[in-house]
Amino acid sequence: PPYTGKICCIGAGYVGGPTMAMVALKTGLTVTVVDLNKQRIDAWNSDRLPIYEPGLEEVVKQTRGKNLFFSTDVEAAVRDAAIIFVSVNTPTKEYGFGKGRAADLTYWEGAARSISKATVPGSALFQGFKIVVEKSTVPVSTADAMTCVLQENCPAGVHFQVLSNPEFLAEGTAIADLTQPDRVLIGGSMSKEGIMAIEALASVYAHWVPRERIVKSNVWSAELSKLVANAFLAQRISSVNALSELCEATGADIDHVASAIGSDPGIGPKFLKCGPGFGGSCFQKDILNLVYLCQSAGLTDVAEYWLQVIRMNDHQKRRFGKLIVDTMFNTINDKKIAVLGFAFKADTGDTRESPAIDICGTMLNENAKVTVFDPEVTEDQVLQFRDLDYRRIFDTMCKPAFIFDGRNILDHDQLQSIGFRIQGLGKPKTLEIVSGS
């Protein structure tokens, strides 16, 4: 039967908040999002939401207080719901075994223990069990560990089905991605109860997602698919970034190259824009997690292959910082430098692992005076950078006046005609700048 009960989500972050707002909007089911962080919950209940996503505010306004609730009462929400999403953070481990690579599962295990504690006789069940849905990105076989923690800490006779339902939304387009997902992946046990649980969750998504886009698999494939999807996306960025350096060295233009190769359907046009390195909370941590899994399985060559994606990203971040210093006559000591944009990409206010942090760090190490502006960033505001009065800016600047366009969004010819010395990534080097001739 389709699921008609209440839904709970543990973790009110970038994933839990928008995802559950969409579930509430599309299904009409009662959804409660809980978090230990009271400040975050207060923000979700206020006029200034804790995260910025285009379209999110409208969805929250339509549902909050009707069938969407934000609370710190984890126990009550878990007790009353038979489907519980777990969307807590799973950062890279910073200590002990697997330090710097493995996923830190402290928060995830905390959530599992909260669920077992709150599962008391009389709490809500679906067909005799509670369904726990991993939304967080986790290592393969985490569902098995979660089942173990849950099953050994709950009242006799209560059963859990743990599903893997990784989230593929991208920050900046979360609402669009959630409204029309390319696919919804649900992994679970192939037992009778497992299949019932998968069907119950599928019935939730089926309120708005076409059935053919709801893909089912075993639990390990679903867990691994999320890591691999992010590894592939990041690999494309590292590939195009690697070639941007070759373009600069050879006089080719990375935008021309990307457009030429992207029209091949086997390659496709997306994720071919070069930049100052990928950022965000997921790509690096998920690849490191994949690398750790490969190493744990003794697959050294496979691990090395994926690690190179991160090495290339570090190289690109360093290289952009160095390009700035080299171009400005090998010293930026005491020079005033304005940084437009600090989030890790457009249309988000999220600065986690943003390449801007590394690049600003390089400039500060070189004793530059750095001023950062980020409007927290709607599309219009990104374009704003394009529409600044560059002639006026040029007039006020020390000469030669430099612009380093890490995203290649500005009109380089026009800026050059004003008198700027402009260097984009993957663009032929304007050598006269370097030599000063």
Residue positions forming the annotated binding site for NAD(+): 11-16, 35, 40, 88-92, 136-137, 171, 282-285, 352
Please identify, using beta-carbon distances, which residue of 35 and 347 lies nearer to ligand NAD: 35
Binding site for ligand NAD (CB under 6 A): 10-16, 34-37, 40, 74, 87-90, 107, 110-111, 114, 135-137, 167, 169, 171, 281-282
Please identify, using beta-carbon distances, which residue of 194 and 349 lies nearer to ligand NAD: 349
Give me the least distance between CB of 143 and ligand NAD, in Å please: 14
Give me the least distance between CB of 225 and ligand NAD, in Å please: 12
Amino acid at 205: Y
Please identify, using beta-carbon distances, which residue of 114 and 147 lies nearer to ligand NAD: 114
Give me the least distance between CB of 304 and ligand NAD, in Å please: 23
Please identify, using beta-carbon distances, which residue of 74 and 206 lies nearer to ligand NAD: 74
The residue of the chain with the least Cβ separation from ligand NAD equals 13
Give me the least distance between CB of 393 and ligand NAD, in Å please: 34
Catalytic residue, candidates 154, 282, 294, 360: 282
Please identify, using beta-carbon distances, which residue of 283 and 420 lies nearer to ligand NAD: 283
The residue with tokens 């995802």 is: 19
Is there a catalytic annotation at residue 282?
A: yes
Give me the least distance between CB of 34 and ligand NAD, in Å please: 6
Report, as residue numbers or ranges, the catalytic residues: 282
